[in-house]
């Protein structure tokens, strides 16, 4: 029996049927309630939560475990690699078993592993635990994107992803500030206990507030072979690969800042842990403002143009930082350019994500997982690899500029490729104007 697009209704082929915005879908077909957007944004925050809370403690962590700065950064790299692998795992799993159950399993595992990290006896043990915790945390990030794509099309999804970033940006604001304050009364181990407490709250909220958005009729069947087929279909899309490269390179710009800035700003420029937390929070506020701007503008200019503008701004900011560092300029000249560079990420990411996922509504989980793999697999290794010989302001700025420049080039080349056929009606243009939230934000 065939669906509206000729996809078989399950069976041995393993191909999906009715995508999520068709009849039979769980919930409202054209709206994402504001409360659900807020919760999905919080669940997407496992990346920054996993890293930003203990950023102020990295120097102390390295000293306490008798390790080098590079080894301390390796705990972040392991988490990023885990997040990348986890998204690749959980995305296809959610295509097979629905969104809700895999999401709850991942959040629960992340919470337990945070407690295990708090008790880590050595740097090697901590790195291993952070890797596994990242795998668990990938559930929230991949499935949150898939839920949005279940319900919305390209520009509408871009606005919704911007809304997620607005919520997501609260984590980089609050996490380092909270971490800096907690460092006055506890050690780095106490910060992981705080992460476990946050995980408990998010798990309870997910149990109560995240509905199932992928009904059984729309799920893939056929086991591992079918899952591999879904991943292969996404990888065969050259536009997807190009936009995924952009996501990974822009992620590299952001992760370079995250991993190097504690040493650049605290050790290189003499900021205290509390002052660094304030700078980090100010930059995160830039993410919020830029995300809000994108929500307002994407309906008028479209996702492709907004992504191009964001990448140009990213290159401009990183180029200015590189010039200031080369001239040995003051911190007062560096910080505004750093703010511009970080803020630009909030314009690039939602639009590039929407462009990448647009043709893949019927396999949104697999596509979301591959996108997460690119973001954390490519982005997560750029900064640590560049810092193997040490961390300086010039190195941080030049690494960010190189990644941003390559991302802009990849975007311009990818935008010229033909748009592939959509994977089912989920990607078809809506007959009515898209809505991303009950309040019509943006």
Would you say residue 436 lies in a domain? Answer: no
Would you say residue 6 lies in a domain? Answer: no
* Between 185 and 132, the higher pLDDT residue: 132
Return the pLDDT at 161. 76
CB 89 within 8 A of CB 369: yes
CB 143 within 8 A of CB 91: yes
CB 376 within 8 A of CB 324: no
Average pLDDT over residues 89-102: 88
Facing residues of 233 across strands?
none
pTM here is 0.71
Would you say residue 24 lies in a domain? Answer: no
Is the model's pLDDT at 263 over the cut of 60? yes
Return the pLDDT at 366. 82
Would you say residue 423 lies in a domain? Answer: no
Would you say residue 104 lies in a domain? Answer: yes
- CATH number, domain containing residue 105: 1.20.1250.20
Sorted by sequence, the CB contacts under 8 Å of residue 428 that are 6+ apart come out as: 153, 422
Would you say residue 435 lies in a domain? Answer: no
How many separate domains does the chain show?
1
Q: What is the pLDDT of residues 354-398, one digit of tens each?
A: 898 888 776 778 888 888 888 777 876 787 777 777 789 999 999
Is the model's pLDDT at 51 over the cut of 80? no
* Between 274 and 253, the higher pLDDT residue: 253
Lowest-pLDDT choice from 19-23, 115-119, 351-355: 19-23
Average pLDDT over residues 153-181: 71
> Domain range for residue 266?
36-418
Kindly state the greatest CA–CA separation across the chain.
69
Would you say residue 2 lies in a domain? Answer: no
H-state helical runs in 169-237: 170-182, 188-209, 223-235
Residue 113, CA distances (Å) to 71, 119, 134, 204 in order:
20, 10, 9, 17
Would you say residue 434 lies in a domain? Answer: no
Average pLDDT over residues 215-238: 81
């Amino acid at each position: 029996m065939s669906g509206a697009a000729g996809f078989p209704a399950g069976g041995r082929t393993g191909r999906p049927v009715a995508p999520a915005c068709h009849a039979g879908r769980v919930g409202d077909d054209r709206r994402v309630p504001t409360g659900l957007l807020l919760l999905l944004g919080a669940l997407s925050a496992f990346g920054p939560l996993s890293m930003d809370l203990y950023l102020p403690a990295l120097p102390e962590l390295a000293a306490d475990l008798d390790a080098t700065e590079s080894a301390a950064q390796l705990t972040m790299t392991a988490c990023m690699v885990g997040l990348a692998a986890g998204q690749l795992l959980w995305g296809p799993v959610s295509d097979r078993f629905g969104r809700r159950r895999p999401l709850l399993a991942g959040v629960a595992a992340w919470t337990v592993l945070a407690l295990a990290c708090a008790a880590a006896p050595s740097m090697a043990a901590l790195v291993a635990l952070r890797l596994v915790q990242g795998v668990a945390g990938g559930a929230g990030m991949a499935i949150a994107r898939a839920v949005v794509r279940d319900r919305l099309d390209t520009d509408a999804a871009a606005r919704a992803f911007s809304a997620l970033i607005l919520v997501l940006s609260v984590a980089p604001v609050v996490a380092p500030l909270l971490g800096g304050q907690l460092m006055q009364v506890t050690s780095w181990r106490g910060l992981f206990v705080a992460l476990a407490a946050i995980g408990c709250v998010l798990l309870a909220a997910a149990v109560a507030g995240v509905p199932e958005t992928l009904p059984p009729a729309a799920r893939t069947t056929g086991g591992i072979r079918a899952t591999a087929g879904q991943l292969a279909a996404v990888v065969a899309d050259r536009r997807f690969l190009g936009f995924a490269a952009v996501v990974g390179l822009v992620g590299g710009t952001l992760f370079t800042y995250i991993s190097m800035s504690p040493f650049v700003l605290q050790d290189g420029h003499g900021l205290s842990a509390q002052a660094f937390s304030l700078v980090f929070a100010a930059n995160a506020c830039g993410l919020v403002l830029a995300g809000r701007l994108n929500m307002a503008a994407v309906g008028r200019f479209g996702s492709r143009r907004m992504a191009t503008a964001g990448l140009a701004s990213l290159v401009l900011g990183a180029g200015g930082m590189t010039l200031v560092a080369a001239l040995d300029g003051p911190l007062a000249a560096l910080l505004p350019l750093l703010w511009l560079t970080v803020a630009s990420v909030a314009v690039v990411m939602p639009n590039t994500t929407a462009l990448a996922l647009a043709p893949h509504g019927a396999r949104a989980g697999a596509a979301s997982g591959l996108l997460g793999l690119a973001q954390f697999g490519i982005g997560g290794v750029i900064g640590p690899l560049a810092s193997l010989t040490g961390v300086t302001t010039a190195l941080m700025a030049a690494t960010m500029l190189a990644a941003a420049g390559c991302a802009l080039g990849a975007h311009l080349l990818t935008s010229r490729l033909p748009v592939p056929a959509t994977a089912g009606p989920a990607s078809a243009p809506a007959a009515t104007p898209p809505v991303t939230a009950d309040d019509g934000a943006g």
